[in-house]
């Protein structure tokens, strides 16, 4: 049981947090946390610009670490270890966070723990819900990733499905761009979708009903583009129909993974879990609650603040690793690509995006 300083800088949020693994609730586990979003800096470009991101992380991270320590009334000496995201993500940003973590670890004589950002998302539900036991089926849906993983333990992941083209959050962001809703798009699409009819625009459900376990959203995005260009549909109906189609795909794919694991003796999962930025979407949460109920499983979804990128999840993953005796050398490299399941076979067309 330990106090961990967590650092996150792999995409467009700079974040630092202090996590106490003695706590038995989310509130007592996260002692302090700060987050700086770069949304304003990237908005004119409609997406994250790596160079701008790295510079912004470099400007705010060091003072932010000082601020969370002050918020907690602690110093580096009080920490048991420093956990920093070491990948995957935009290399410039990852470097800023990892080098900062290394410098602090060296200066304070504390162990460094390099965290896979995806492991941060994958274990974040255990931060929020102390009762959640391994193994669980995880739907990890963010701007860069769309995967179904069997989470068997710390560092033990089996990938059941991934995307062959776009991630789910990326599909939301592109739809937002097509509809002129700005960046980041997911929350804006969800808001507009509430005013529209999800059945108004006929849109495809790529791979639904196919034996293949993976996700695909590129065809859906093209159909949204055609629907907008055609000019006959209201934007709210396009947003609602897109969200409905995307969720139908996600539910179908997740049902397939539940069929493959829930009844599987030995695998016998304890819960359906959703994490990553898109897990903040309430329509998705609603659909997953009823899907999980079909299998007699609870749906575990961390609070939205813990779903989008943050440092509490990195500190928590650090605490889980520290408890399991994993620490890293100070020459640990940053890894722009870093799959959680190194044994998973590559799928056609897939690129792990930042």
Q: Which residues bind ligand KG4 (CB under 6 A)?
A: 11, 142-144, 169, 172-173, 184-187, 190, 276-278, 280-281, 308-309
- How would you classify the pairing of strands 299-300 and 272-275? parallel
User: Among the candidate windows 54-62, 138-146, 161-169, 312-320, which touches Zn ion by CB under 5 A?
Assistant: 138-146
**Binding partner of residue 186 among Zn ion, ligand KG4, none, CB cut-off 5 to 8 Å per kind:** ligand KG4
**Binding partner of residue 21 among ligand KG4, Zn ion, none, CB cut-off 5 to 8 Å per kind:** none
Binder to Zn ion among 142, 175, 254, 281 (CB under 5 A)? 142
Q: Which is nearer to ligand KG4, 227 or 280 (CB)?
A: 280
Q: Which is nearer to Zn ion, 117 or 214 (CB)?
A: 117
Q: Which is nearer to ligand KG4, 162 or 261 (CB)?
A: 162
d(CA 62, CA 57): 9
**Binding partner of residue 280 among Zn ion, ligand KG4, none, CB cut-off 5 to 8 Å per kind:** ligand KG4
Q: Which is nearer to Zn ion, 272 or 279 (CB)?
A: 279
Q: Which is nearer to ligand KG4, 108 or 352 (CB)?
A: 352
Cβ(10)–Cβ(93) under 8 Å? yes
Phi, psi of 80, deg, nearest 5 = -90, -25
- CB 308 → ligand KG4: shortest distance, Å? 4
User: Among the candidate windows 142-150, 199-207, 311-319, 323-331, which touches Zn ion by CB under 5 A?
Assistant: 142-150
Q: Which is nearer to Zn ion, 113 or 179 (CB)?
A: 113
Cα atoms in the 13 Å half-sphere on the side-chain side of 237: 12
- CB 265 → Zn ion: shortest distance, Å? 33
CA 340 to chain CA mean position, Å = 13
- CB 279 → ligand KG4: shortest distance, Å? 8
| DSSP code of residue 276 | S
Q: Which is nearer to ligand KG4, 212 or 248 (CB)?
A: 248
Q: Write the binding mask 291 to 330 for Zn ion: x where contact by CB under 5 A, - elsewhere.
A: ------------------x---------------------
d(CA 124, CA 260): 24
- Assess 13 for contact with Zn ion (CB under 5 A): no
Return the closest-CA partner of residue 56 out of 90, 22, 32, 33.
Answer: 90
Q: Which neighbouring-strand residues pair with 30?
A: 19
Return the closest-CA partner of residue 115 out of 317, 309, 325.
Answer: 317
Contacts of 88 (CB under 8 A, 6+ apart): 10, 94, 116, 117, 118, 144, 335, 336, 337, 338, 339, 352, 354
- CB 326 → Zn ion: shortest distance, Å? 21
Q: Which pair of tokens denotes residue 2?
A: 């330990």
**Binding partner of residue 111 among ligand KG4, Zn ion, none, CB cut-off 5 to 8 Å per kind:** none
Cβ(159)–Cβ(350) under 8 Å? no
| DSSP code of residue 125 | H
Helix axes 282-294, 185-193, angle to 10 degrees: 80
Footprint on this chain of Zn ion (rule: CB under 5 A): 142, 309
């Amino acid at each position: 049981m330990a106090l961990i300083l967590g650092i996150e800088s792999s995409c467009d949020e700079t974040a630092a947090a202090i996590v106490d693994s003695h706590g038995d609730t989310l509130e007592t586990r996260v002692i302090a946390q700060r987050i700086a979003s770069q949304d304003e800096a990237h908005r004119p470009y409609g997406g994250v610009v790596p160079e701008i991101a790295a510079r912004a992380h470099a400007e705010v991270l060091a003072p932010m670490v000082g601020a969370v320590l002050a918020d907690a009334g602690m110093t580096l000496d009080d920490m048991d270890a420093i956990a920093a995201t070491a990948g995957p993500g935009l290399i410039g940003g990852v470097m800023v966070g990892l080098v900062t973590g290394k410098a602090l670890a060296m200066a304070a004589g504390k162990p460094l723990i390099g965290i896979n950002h995806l492991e941060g998302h994958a274990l974040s539900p255990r931060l929020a819900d102390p009762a959640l036991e391994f193994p669980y089926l995880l739907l990890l849906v963010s701007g860069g990733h769309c995967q179904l993983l069997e989470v068997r333990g710390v560092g033990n992941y089996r990938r059941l499905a991934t995307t062959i083209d776009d991630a789910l959050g990326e599909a939301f962001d592109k739809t937002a761009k097509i509809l002129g809703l700005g960046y980041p798009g997911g929350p804006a699409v969800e808001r507009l979708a509430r005013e529209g009819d999800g059945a108004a625009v006929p849109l495809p459900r790529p791979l639904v009903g196919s034996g293949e376990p993976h996700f695909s959203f590129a065809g859906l995005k093209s159909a949204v583009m055609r629907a907008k260009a055609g000019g006959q549909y209201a934007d709210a109906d396009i947003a609602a129909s897109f969200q409905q189609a995307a969720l139908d795909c996600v539910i179908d794919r997740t049902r397939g993974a539940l069929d493959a694991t829930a009844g599987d003796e030995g695998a016998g999962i304890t819960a359906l879990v959703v994490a990553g930025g898109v897990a903040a979407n309430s329509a998705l949460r609603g659909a997953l609650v009823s899907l999980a109920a079909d299998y007699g499983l609870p749906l575990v979804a961390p609070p939205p603040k813990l779903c989008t990128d943050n440092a509490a999840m990195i500190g928590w993953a650090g605490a889980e690793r520290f408890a399991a005796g994993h620490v890293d050398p100070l020459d640990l490299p940053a890894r722009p690509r870093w799959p959680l399941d190194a044994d998973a076979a590559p799928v056609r067309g897939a690129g792990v995006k930042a």
